[in-house]
A and B are shown apart, each in its own frame.
Chain A
């Protein structure tokens, strides 16, 4: 029976193998070339290969040498904060800065676990105004402000 003795290392090793796997998989279509004429795949494949090896060692080590536990993941915070970013990204080019700021702040504030409507409303007004003044007017960045513009 195999037991995981070092959960942190186990997860780390697994992630290394996963990431190296993605790079190796995508790079297999690229020409490798030779040392004299390094092709597009030469350097990345070498790096990913090395990463794969390290991943395996770290993974195997976690089965032998005891180590720390991973600890509770902040699932709620993770989903809400990353979700807020994705929503902001999806809205910024269509609905514009004002709408996406409001959406980001509402979803993001939920993550703190102490959601207060009045506070969030103040935030939306204050921060959106600040963002428009700084980025749109002062720095002249080409933002779409609202769905109308």
Chain B
């Protein structure tokens, strides 16, 4: 057997596409209850009476279905939401290959640089920037300077290369080419041609008058990125330095220049530098090289991976709780079914009195339970998806991280296992129904 498994079955399984494997797993998960259903109802037609019983206790049955649906929705929603959040945050960070910043918390840095949750960070100097920007393996190095805002939108100083890297072709207008031009994210409530003056700082503590007289003109709008950068306003980093009275980072002769090269002596500093290398392996070399006492190089993806690990742990704990909830609800529903079959007892006794085989009675009670469980599970999938869609919309609205609700194989596997398990358990009330005394039930 092990030889057959390793020599034949395993290679055969691995040759299948992932979707085929998932489809087969789903089939295997649901197979026990399909087999029981086939065996129990073979040659019989219990469904007319099942329908009658479902209708007779329709409100009670609806409560059962609702309970099952909520418990299934919890499990389904939890998995789908966690995956949506994981994919959304990963997608938002995919353009950020390697970030170099002053030593500190990588998580705080990722939150500030990738997700634009502003925080005070020490600045990197021009010498380090120059070394990074001129490194053989670096395609481009973009300063990311944050700290100002307009109408709640973070104003980020950077370079045209980074803007192109982030958005590709612009959705509208052109890239900034002079200091007081700006390109807005897709969700910024400004139009091309509008003018604005940024506030110093972000949130409630922003000083709206700090940069009076420094007026920017919107010249372009980026395509949607599905990241918090959709709500950002990108301006030349030189402009950020200028409005803070720090110069342009260029010598006088080139003071109108936008973008690198910068003069290391005049470079005012930046809280973070995005580094993009043409070769994947080079990122690792650069990370190693620029992890120094005065600088920290990290992959946002790796930090996210740690966060996702934590998220996954939380999801696992919550999944266990969801499964426990499902088991408790199922136990409650099955207990309810046992009680409900007592209400059916006269009808079941009648059927036995008129000669219906025991298997027919078993089929009725089991099919009745299976219908409730199956309907609850299907409704739970829909409810879970709907809830996930709503929550995803709220998260996307609040964070600008595009969290997409979708159902995938793991949810269907979970539901299939739940349905199989509970439908097998539903044989218990069916067996109990057969043990009831016929004559006593006829006389009740």
Chain A complexes with chain B: no
Mark A residues whose CB is within 8 Å of B.
none
Mark B residues whose CB is within 8 Å of A.
none
